[in-house]
Amino acid sequence: MEKDGGGVAAGEWRFQPNESLMAASSLSVRGVLTEIVANIDNESEDTRPRIPLGHGDASVFPCFRTAPEAVDAVVSALRSGQYNCYSPCVGLAPARRAIADYLSGDLPYKLSPDDVYLTNGCAQAIEIVVSVLARPGANILLPRPGYQFYAARAAYNGIEVRYFNLLPESQWEVDLDGLEALADENTVAMVIVNPGNPCGNTFTYQHLAKASSLLVANTAKKLRIMIIADEVYEHLTFGSNPFVPMGMFGDVVPVLTLGSISKRWVVPGWRLGWIVTNDPNGVLSQTKIVECLKNYLDISCDPATFVQGAIPQIIKNTNDDFLRHTISVLRQTADICYDKLKEIDCISCPSKPEGSMFVMVKLDLSRLEGIHDDMDFCSKLAKEELVIVLPGCTVGFKNWLRITFAVEPSSLEDGLERLKSFCSKHSKRSSSPAIRS
């Protein structure tokens, strides 16, 4: 029941909600998924399990259970009694060192522990980096389709967003020609998510090299912007392209690399991530970005100290078999997904996923009866088949769908079978051969 506000009209109070927060939350994936799930009739006779192919949290499935060595590392950190304290704002020194060494393994130069700042997962890393770059009039280049948390944080910080396209017919590579036209003197950074969410692509070395040199060497426009490299899915690749860190090009263009243990170790609830300066030329210190980043850390919350304390052991002790196993399950489920989707007439999949946990597919609404758009499709699919997928509008690609395949193989098969029968139930009669004459 609505209260009467003690007889005072809402507008008469001195406090008001923060409008920029209201705008930012409309970009939230969680909000849309909640809306879709609300279509499911809880009183229904349908007792089949719900199949969550919407947001990617593989940790709930037994086949993606984290490495026992990682669990042991956290248990010993807790038992030691050494990590009940507050941590330094930048993170515990041994954890910073362990992450610097771990990431240096893929780079032509060595990172120092001082290049690493610990955060509450990759999400807080995004929050910090976007806030650090916020200045009046600034704009930032984001991929479309893309991970909308960047757009939400930019909206909150009052940074203008400009979208560059990822090209479905070219393995979701960046439309580099379009990129040049977008940037101007107020452009501060470009975001690259690799391996990709939502597209499931892995960029080649050549493509990343081309993108990074364009940002600096383009003499006509002198873009001179930095790259924010979201590598939260680092090494989760299972196609022909190996993972190449953007830090490889840190001597060409300054790179802030963002990551976390959430995806590779499948522990998103542990909330440990990082911001790393990949910047052998020291541009980020000269421009005081590093100082500003530390200032932000001074006024924000740190990740739990015992998880920081466990990081060196998590990295050192985790058996290679764990990563191999995760990748082999993802390869298997990506195959299941791709093969099954090919059987569905009203859905097309431009490229087979080669990394991360997602695939983007296009809906052909002209073949469907009584479905207006992607949101309507997802709402009815949830209601009729208890399968939850994400409408493309939430990642900037209307009338597409994002499907996660980081799901137990048997559930995935069940979910895709239901998706198929939903599509055939709603397909237009006119497309059936019987009417051809």
Of 228 and 337, which CB lies nearer to ligand PLP in the complex structure? Answer: 228
Of 157 and 260, which CB lies nearer to ligand PLP in the complex structure? Answer: 260
- Shortest gap between Cβ of 303 and ligand PLP (angstroms)? 10
Residue with the shortest CB distance to ligand PLP: 121
Please, what sign has the CA dihedral across residues 241, 211, 398, 33?
Answer: positive
Task: With CA atoms as reference, report the closest residue to 271 among 107, 77, 118.
Answer: 118
Of 197 and 313, which CB lies nearer to ligand PLP in the complex structure? Answer: 197
End-to-end C-alpha distance for the chain, whole angstroms: 60
Of 64 and 147, which CB lies nearer to ligand PLP in the complex structure? Answer: 147
- Shortest gap between Cβ of 194 and ligand PLP (angstroms)? 9
| DSSP assignment of 224-261 | --EEEEE-TTTT-B-SSSPP--GGGGTTTS-EEEEEES
Task: With CA atoms as reference, report the closest residue to 402 among 16, 33, 6, 3.
Answer: 33
Of 337 and 423, which CB lies nearer to ligand PLP in the complex structure? Answer: 337
93-104 vs 305-317: helix axis angle to the nearest 10?
30
- Shortest gap between Cβ of 177 and ligand PLP (angstroms)? 24
- Shortest gap between Cβ of 56 and ligand PLP (angstroms)? 7
Of 193 and 346, which CB lies nearer to ligand PLP in the complex structure? Answer: 193
Q: Which residue has the tokens 């597919």?
A: 361
Q: What angle do CA 120, 123, 125 make, to 5 degrees?
A: 70
Q: Quote the CA–CA distance of 161 and 379 in Å, as a whole number.
A: 29
- Shortest gap between Cβ of 315 and ligand PLP (angstroms)? 16
Q: 3-state class of 282 per DSSP? A: coil
Amino acid occupying residue 412 = L
Of 247 and 268, which CB lies nearer to ligand PLP in the complex structure? Answer: 268
Q: Quote the CA–CA distance of 173 and 274 in Å, as a whole number.
A: 26
What are 246's two structure tokens?
Answer: 């953007």
Which positions touch ligand PLP (CB under 6 A)?
121-123, 147, 193, 197, 230, 232, 260, 262, 268, 273
Burial of 356 (0-12, 13-18, 19+ CB in 10 A): buried
- Shortest gap between Cβ of 229 and ligand PLP (angstroms)? 11
- Shortest gap between Cβ of 130 and ligand PLP (angstroms)? 12
Q: What separation in angstroms does the CA of 186 have from each of 183, 189, 191, 292?
A: 8, 9, 15, 19
Of 274 and 422, which CB lies nearer to ligand PLP in the complex structure? Answer: 274
Of 275 and 346, which CB lies nearer to ligand PLP in the complex structure? Answer: 275
- Shortest gap between Cβ of 260 and ligand PLP (angstroms)? 3
The dihedral region occupied by 48, where left means phi > 0, alpha psi between -120 and 50, and beta the remainder, is beta
- Shortest gap between Cβ of 276 and ligand PLP (angstroms)? 14
Q: 3-state class of 123 per DSSP? A: helix
Of 83 and 150, which CB lies nearer to ligand PLP in the complex structure? Answer: 150
Q: What separation in angstroms does the CA of 311 have from each of 86, 121, 216, 269, 428?
A: 16, 13, 35, 15, 54
- Shortest gap between Cβ of 232 and ligand PLP (angstroms)? 4
